[in-house]
Amino acid sequence: MPRHIVCLTFDFDTESGFIARGLATPTMLSRGEFGLTGARRILDLAKSRGIPMTWFTPGFTIESHRAECDMVVEGGHEIAHHSWAHVPPAEQSRDEEEEDMLRANEAIEKLTGKKARGYRSPSWDLSENTLDLLEAQGFEYDSSLMAGDYIPMMARRGDKAELGKPIVYGEDTSLIEMPISWTLDDHPHFEYMRTPNFVMPGLRPAREVMDSWYDEFVYMQANEEWGVLTYTMHPYVIGRGFRMFSFEKLVDKLIADGAEFMTMEDAARVAREKLF
């Protein structure tokens, strides 16, 4: 029987992503703080449609904004791991990454009563140590890699890439990889960012982006017997009123087309059954 699963996932960064990039002026911090307003709107949408969601939540957000994180848990949604301080693992030593990972999982356990089963790296940039650390800490899935679109796979460690030589692939880990894409992430489409080193223009029309996101589901449904489509959003981005308006329309179209909404933890378990 065909199964076309949709995971609505939210990176609940609030101010952490700005702080991690050294952008801690009042206006920058206020942009992250708007995520609290966005979160409430998203949770209202989830409740009205009866949809489960996955919230990749840094330890920073849990310890800074406990009331809003409690609302996510009370809504029956998955709290997944997204580091403590939103520093990309590729910029950390193994010891720094492990310490950050443990600290964040302690915050998640205090919030939910259990440690996270899923992980997403800040800025989607794993280190050579990340998958080993995740396995050692009992994680079931990762959602940071881009080698697929609709069909999850096993996360792989130890690929060897050297200039002038063919790539040599490493070995599979025990982690299910739930693939993602920048094209299905709200941040590069919508968020205007200007620093001394770069400009990210963003500010695309919400309807245009949601139409493209809908087309991804239509293609999956037409061409795959089963699959998982992951949308990645940030409450301080998608939570603007006019974007929520278009996002709500997308959700309703997916419902009408028979999308099966799941937390990423549940979708990863379906994928493991399919793969094995």
Q: Give per-residue pLDDT as tens, 24-71.
A: 999 999 999 999 999 999 999 999 999 999 999 999 999 999 999 999
Task: Band the pLDDT of 10: cuts 50, 70, 90.
Answer: very high
Q: Report pLDDT for 136.
A: 97
Q: Report pLDDT for 116.
A: 98
Q: Report pLDDT for 197.
A: 83
For the stretch 110-124, pLDDT in tens is: 999 999 999 999 999
Q: Per the structure, how many domains does the chain have?
A: 1
Q: What number of CA atoms fall less than 13 Å from residue 257's CA on the CB side?
A: 20
Residue whose C-alpha is closest to residue 94's, from 130, 45, 41: 130
Range of the domain at 141: 3-275
How far apart are alpha carbons 221 and 258 in whole angstroms? 9
How far apart are alpha carbons 125 and 72 in whole angstroms? 26
Stretch 205-209: mean pLDDT, rounded? 98
**Other CB atoms within 10 Å distance of the CB of residue 185:** 20
Q: Report pLDDT for 198.
A: 81
Q: What is the CATH number of the domain that holds 228?
A: 3.20.20.370
Q: Report pLDDT for 226.
A: 97
For the stretch 146-173, pLDDT in tens is: 999 999 999 999 999 999 999 999 999 9
pTM across the whole model? 0.97
Biggest CA-to-CA distance, the chain? 54
Q: Report pLDDT for 193.
A: 86
Helix (H, G, I), strand (E, B) or coil at 30: helix
How far apart are alpha carbons 184 and 232 in whole angstroms? 6
| Residue 273 tokens, joined | 């059954």
